[in-house]
Amino acid sequence: MRIAVVALGKIGLPLAVQFAASGHDVIGVDVNPTTVDSVNAAQEPFPGEAHLQERLEELVPAGRLRATTDYAEAIPGADAVVLVAPVFVNDETWEPDFQWMDMATRSLSEHLTPGTLVSYETTLPVGTTRNRWKPMLEEGSGLKEGTDFHVVYSPERVLTGRVFEDLRKYPKLIGALSDEGTRRAREFYEAVLQFDERPDLPRPNGVWDLGTTEASEMAKLAETTYRDVNIGLANQFGLFAAANGIDVYKVIEACNSQPYSHIHRPGIAVGGHCIPVYPRLYLSTDPDADIVRTARQLNASMPERLVAQAETVLGSLQGLTAVVLGAAYRGGVKETAFSGVFPTVEALQSRGAQVFVHDPMYTDDELRALGFEPYAWGGQVDVAVLQTDHGEYRVVSPAQLPGVKLLVDGRAATDAQRWVGTPRIVVGTAA
């Protein structure tokens, strides 16, 4: 097949590589010329995705994969077009911001030719594919969906850093606007993906048809919103446990020994492109989902709550030196999207602390570019807040933080034995 992939980001480019590696001719479209040049030079434009570089080196010189900024070069005559342009959420209103996907869809529609399958993989509010993208594609192309072309919604379900592994591991969900669209979508994804055997699943791993675009859209929102709500519940339990002298981790371990309990762990922040964002996309079409809203608000409040606990222990943070350990949103990943580092630094600074940030995955210049003052081990510190569970922080000790009067462990990642004699607040346990 001839396949076009729109938006060559951390999901789109690995998808394009996956399709090409499955024996198809793939052209990627991106508005960033630097990204396009990198792909055409067989150089990964971003680090950290397992096997991406080696596959680019194989596929680009062989002519199976190339990139362009020109929709007119990529879209006409494509058997399938997959869109992975971003959809953002307004931080204040929690309303979805479709501007990038709108631009991609309009540009695609201007060059759409009969016979093409159009698949949206970006996470969307329920009803967006049918009510927003279908009319936009028909208006821009003059073609009719269901007759001249077909539209399917098939959410990406992968984590950056392990995209190729996850593509094999999880069922590929589809929901089309017509029976013919369903048939075409199944044939397409069965031709570009390979699946691991999963005896734990209720049916064979592979392409799973959910019947409608709305069901497929909701499935992606539901599986990610579940995690945010679960973490919110764990944080609620952790706050209560800490206030009552209870170790919430022993409680959670005990609960999860029973097969119907799957309580997550509390933490200082929920970050990344997905979990903090998708509950708000869900709320945009289900405003009565109070449990979702409450969990999102509680999780967002955790940095402020933990810094307030530190202030209670130390009396005041005014004039103190603080270091936040970890800029990344999760351990082992060089990504700061919606990272808890930002509200944690803000909460410390609002109380008069001088704040530095340490992260082993970032250079000092990269931290400065993010707006932070970098910290090096051995600098004088009054209070440290562990925000990211990098492996390096699991063995951190007071000797590396001279003068430290308090550690706030927002991930329950540090070794208590290394901190004997130094006050330590661990999220979910009594101070």
Active-site residue set = 220, 274
* CA–CA separation, 339 and 343 (whole Å): 8
By the 8 A CB rule, do 307 and 269 touch?
no
What 3-state DSSP class applies to 213? helix
The encoded tokens of residue 396 equal 């951190």
Query: Under 8 Å CB-to-CB from 235, ≥6 apart: which residues?
Result: 266, 267, 298, 299, 302, 427, 428
The encoded tokens of residue 203 equal 């049916």
* CA–CA separation, 407 and 43 (whole Å): 41
- The position carrying tokens 């707006």 is 371
On the 0-12 / 13-18 / 19+ scale of CB atoms within 10 A, 196 is exposed
Instruction: Compute the C-alpha angle 281/282/285, nearest 5°.
Output: 95
How far lies 311's CA from each of 109, 216, 294, 322, in Å? Answer: 55, 46, 25, 12
* CA–CA separation, 136 and 391 (whole Å): 47
Instruction: For residue 46, give the nearest of 7, 13, 92 by alpha carbon.
Output: 13
Largest CA distance in the chain: 73
DSSP code for 266: -
**Could you please report the per-residue DSSP string of 32-57?**
-HHHHHHHHTT--SSS--TTHHHHHH
**Could you please report the per-residue DSSP string of 64-77?**
SEEEES-HHHHSTT
What 3-state DSSP class applies to 180? helix
What 3-state DSSP class applies to 78? coil
